[in-house]
Chains A and B, each alone.
Chain A
């Protein structure tokens, strides 16, 4: 085990896969010479050379078009979209081409490609560079979607994504890049489609993703110590495939579901989980489902406004205190 930052775990995961399989290539804006605008890909150019680690022009369509072509012709590319907001620029390639080609060719074309992108708020980047858009990806049939909360998961899920024959989108929460955590040494591969139970309580089950996992854990600590409310915390990790078995089981144990989402409220990923729980777990529910989300507004860039917009530890504590008896 080594202690790595979330950003170092990105580089470690990519390096592990590039060293293992020379078909793995990496491309994106400023990812090579500059080591990434978030410094998450430092050293890869030196290690693997300019043929496999490529800076591209500022064109998201070019990046994903090239990655898609590479994947169709035998490589296993990793493409970076600098800010997840920019997925909107190249969404046709993601939603219509990358997501559908394997299906529409009856499996004759494989699409083993990975799109990594910096997602989410908390870093004062304003309305066009701070959105949480993992729910956009979640609603497109044909792509897998993960969002790691811990450095170890970053490394393990990047490895799992690269080895998967379907396209996988990895949403890295940009405010987590400096965060440190234990990461297994040597070759480490995780599994797509598995949630993780981080803490067990008896009063409610908090289901969270990425940055919100850390806030949910902090809130659970306060709720337990100061208010006598004990919470289970589940890190969803993978939205597609979704580990419904774990989520259903954990909600059934406490009888209450709380989702903590950075998505704006309408059609955030928690809505889908709420719907699944209402369908399949209704007779285990001991009270209404609680969704704690960013409101349906563009994100402000001013510090205090942004802090008041995405769910904070205080807000999670308050909402759970108010609604759980």
Chain B
């Protein structure tokens, strides 16, 4: 194979070979540094594109050669022809014109060559991340082994009904041992990037309110059994919280917003993202759109549907975009408060931790008494650049008020 002067920039026409790392007769491995080249723009090491024996060095150290000119000949294993070929081709230097495209296309680029299988197209990256796949599990059928969109889709289809992230991925944590490094999957990487970026750019303020879920509980108790039988899933607290938040966001538009430059873009639509944990293996945020336009039962059904499909890796991409506010729910493990990180470019996020029975002082005309009430914690992190504490507090009071005073039984019947 002829080693030629690579194109090291669009406007660069020639370069100087400043150093050969191999002599004639030396063996060279693929991607092993073969020579240094210097142009008026860069100085760089060039790796050998193939493995073989250096059969001839055409351009000596210190000599200038045009882009595309033959610099050396490497005899690849089993390449008898190259071995037999005399020094023929290019007599030394400059005269070999870069002219024809085929010559240039053989040129090793200045950078080390990238394995096609490692170079993923945007849609493949997205699919891999959404389905928590490991690209190295997928056989690429595209050019040079590239993984195409079809390859990923086929891989997902072949895997059949098995929920995307579940068994394999969840079984994985078991064999993890201390001392081992666990490589991030695509979703983990995105979560890492997004949370770090949010934490670094947005001054987070945590504010916490308590709400009495008595009326919500009563509505759930009254309708729960019928609901479960009819809908096939349990009526949780979450739809009620989502409805209450959407009501409050309607009154506090600065929390239904995005920061842009020196201003706040107030969104017309109220689209609430629901953080869904993928069995300890990442986090996705499907978005419930236009919440104010939806009835409470509709909200409950759609949240259930989104969460199930999120866990099965079957969300459509447009179901994870256009969120204007996010709710996360870590209640299952009995935590008291979680200080959530804002889902950029939004300006606030609410964590609803567990709702637990607590003794509460109930004030009445007949005097104070202690009652057992289901109390939930509403913990909101807001971006202090967007709003101040009093605004956030007033918003939380509105959420609390909605939860405590709405006629939820009626809402469930709509």
**Known pairs A283-B122, A284-B123, A284-B126. 9 more at Cβ < 8 A?**
A255-B121, A282-B122, A283-B123, A283-B125, A283-B126, A283-B317, A284-B122, A285-B121, A286-B124
The 6 closest A-B pairs by CB, nearest first: A325-B143, A325-B142, A286-B149, A283-B126, A286-B121, A285-B122
Q: How far is the CA of A255 from the CA of B151 in the complex (A)?
A: 13
Q: Which of B125, B143, B149, B317 contacts A255 (CB 8 A)?
A: B149
User: Which residues of the other chain, A, contact B121 by a CB distance below 8 angstroms?
Assistant: 255, 285-287
Q: In whole Å, how far is A265's beta carbon from the nearest beta carbon of chain B?
A: 16
A: residues with CB less than 8 A from B are 202, 255, 282-287, 325
User: Which residues of the other chain, B, contact A285 by a CB distance below 8 angstroms?
Assistant: 121-123
Q: In whole Å, how far is A312's beta carbon from the nearest beta carbon of chain B?
A: 19
User: Which residues of the other chain, A, contact B150 by a CB distance below 8 angstroms?
Assistant: 202
User: Which residues of the other chain, A, contact B122 by a CB distance below 8 angstroms?
Assistant: 282-286
Q: How far is the CA of A106 from the CA of B146 in the complex (A)?
A: 55
Q: How far is the CA of A284 from the CA of B317 in the complex (A)?
A: 9
B140 (CB) vs chain A CBs: closest residue = A325
Question: Given A286-B148, A325-B148: A255 and B142 within 8 A (CB)?
Answer: no
User: Which residues of the other chain, B, contact A202 by a CB distance below 8 angstroms?
Assistant: 150
A284 (CB) vs chain B CBs: closest residue = B123
A285 (CB) vs chain B CBs: closest residue = B122
Q: How far is the CA of A282 from the CA of B317 in the complex (A)?
A: 12
Q: In whole Å, how far is B186's beta carbon from the nearest beta carbon of chain A?
A: 12
In the complex the two chains form, is B146's CB within 8 Å of A255's CB?
no
CB-contacts of B251-265 with A (<8 A): none
**0 or 1 for each of B119-134: is its CB under 8 Å from A? (1 = yes):** 0011111100000000
CB-contacts of B317-365 with A (<8 A): 317
Q: In whole Å, how far is A7's beta carbon from the nearest beta carbon of chain B?
A: 41
Q: How far is the CA of A132 from the CA of B150 in the complex (A)?
A: 37
User: Which residues of the other chain, A, contact B143 by a CB distance below 8 angstroms?
Assistant: 325
User: Which residues of the other chain, B, contact A325 by a CB distance below 8 angstroms?
Assistant: 142-143, 146, 148
Interface CB pairs A-B, < 8 A, 6: A283-B317, A284-B317, A285-B123, A286-B122, A286-B149, A325-B142
Q: How far is the CA of A287 from the CA of B148 in the complex (A)?
A: 9
User: From DSSP, what is the main secondary structure of chain A's interface residues?
Assistant: loop
Q: In whole Å, how far is A257's beta carbon from the nearest beta carbon of chain B?
A: 12
Q: How far is the CA of A285 from the CA of B125 in the complex (A)?
A: 10
Q: How far is the CA of A284 from the CA of B149 in the complex (A)?
A: 9
Q: How far is the CA of A285 from the CA of B121 in the complex (A)?
A: 7
B141 (CB) vs chain A CBs: closest residue = A325
Q: In whole Å, how far is B187's beta carbon from the nearest beta carbon of chain A?
A: 14
Q: In whole Å, how far is A287's beta carbon from the nearest beta carbon of chain B?
A: 5
User: Which residues of the other chain, B, contact A282 by a CB distance below 8 angstroms?
Assistant: 122
Q: In whole Å, how far is B129's beta carbon from the nearest beta carbon of chain A?
A: 10
**0 or 1 for each of B95-126: is its CB under 8 Å from A? (1 = yes):** 00000000000000000000000000111111
B146 (CB) vs chain A CBs: closest residue = A325
Q: In whole Å, how far is A54's beta carbon from the nearest beta carbon of chain B?
A: 51
User: Which residues of the other chain, A, contact B123 by a CB distance below 8 angstroms?
Assistant: 255, 283-286
Q: How far is the CA of A284 from the CA of B152 in the complex (A)?
A: 13
Q: Which of B149, B150, B317 has the most CB of A within 10 A?
A: B149
Q: In whole Å, how far is B302's beta carbon from the nearest beta carbon of chain A?
A: 23
Q: How far is the CA of A282 from the CA of B123 in the complex (A)?
A: 8
Q: How far is the CA of A282 from the CA of B321 in the complex (A)?
A: 14
User: Which residues of the other chain, B, contact A283 by a CB distance below 8 angstroms?
Assistant: 122-123, 125-126, 317
Q: In whole Å, how far is B109's beta carbon from the nearest beta carbon of chain A?
A: 16
Q: How far is the CA of A284 from the CA of B122 in the complex (A)?
A: 6
A283 (CB) vs chain B CBs: closest residue = B126
Q: In whole Å, how far is A319's beta carbon from the nearest beta carbon of chain B?
A: 13
**0 or 1 for each of B238-277: is its CB under 8 Å from A? (1 = yes):** 0000000000000000000000000000000000000000
CB-contacts of B148-165 with A (<8 A): 148-150
Q: How far is the CA of A325 from the CA of B146 in the complex (A)?
A: 9
Q: How far is the CA of A283 from the CA of B143 in the complex (A)?
A: 20
User: Which residues of the other chain, B, contact A255 by a CB distance below 8 angstroms?
Assistant: 121, 123, 149
Q: In whole Å, how far is A200's beta carbon from the nearest beta carbon of chain B?
A: 16
Q: How far is the CA of A2 from the CA of B231 in the complex (A)?
A: 57
Q: In whole Å, how far is B228's beta carbon from the nearest beta carbon of chain A?
A: 38
User: Which residues of the other chain, A, contact B142 by a CB distance below 8 angstroms?
Assistant: 325
Q: In whole Å, how far is A275's beta carbon from the nearest beta carbon of chain B?
A: 15
Q: How far is the CA of A287 from the CA of B317 in the complex (A)?
A: 18
Q: How far is the CA of A287 from the CA of B124 in the complex (A)?
A: 10
Q: How far is the CA of A285 from the CA of B149 in the complex (A)?
A: 9
User: Which residues of the other chain, A, contact B125 by a CB distance below 8 angstroms?
Assistant: 283
Q: How far is the CA of A287 from the CA of B150 in the complex (A)?
A: 12
Q: How far is the CA of A283 from the CA of B129 in the complex (A)?
A: 11
Q: How far is the CA of A297 from the CA of B207 in the complex (A)?
A: 64
Q: How far is the CA of A283 from the CA of B121 in the complex (A)?
A: 8
Q: How far is the CA of A325 from the CA of B150 in the complex (A)?
A: 11
Q: In whole Å, how far is A253's beta carbon from the nearest beta carbon of chain B?
A: 11
Q: How far is the CA of A287 from the CA of B140 in the complex (A)?
A: 14
Q: In whole Å, how far is B6's beta carbon from the nearest beta carbon of chain A?
A: 21
Q: How far is the CA of A261 from the CA of B150 in the complex (A)?
A: 28
Q: How far is the CA of A255 from the CA of B152 in the complex (A)?
A: 13
User: Which residues of the other chain, A, contact B124 by a CB distance below 8 angstroms?
Assistant: 286
Q: How far is the CA of A255 from the CA of B143 in the complex (A)?
A: 16
Q: How far is the CA of A128 from the CA of B143 in the complex (A)?
A: 42
User: Which residues of the other chain, B, contact A284 by a CB distance below 8 angstroms?
Assistant: 122-123, 126, 317
Q: Which of A282, A284, A285, A286 has the most CB of B within 10 A?
A: A286
Q: How far is the CA of A219 from the CA of B365 in the complex (A)?
A: 85
Q: How far is the CA of A285 from the CA of B317 in the complex (A)?
A: 13
Q: Which of B122, B143, B317 has the most CB of A within 10 A?
A: B122
Q: How far is the CA of A41 from the CA of B270 in the complex (A)?
A: 55
Q: How far is the CA of A255 from the CA of B122 in the complex (A)?
A: 9
Q: In whole Å, how far is B190's beta carbon from the nearest beta carbon of chain A?
A: 12
User: Which residues of the other chain, A, contact B149 by a CB distance below 8 angstroms?
Assistant: 255, 286
Q: In whole Å, how far is B147's beta carbon from the nearest beta carbon of chain A?
A: 10
Q: How far is the CA of A284 from the CA of B143 in the complex (A)?
A: 19
Q: How far is the CA of A282 from the CA of B120 in the complex (A)?
A: 13
Q: Which of B121, B124, B125 has the most CB of A within 10 A?
A: B121
Q: How far is the CA of A325 from the CA of B144 in the complex (A)?
A: 9
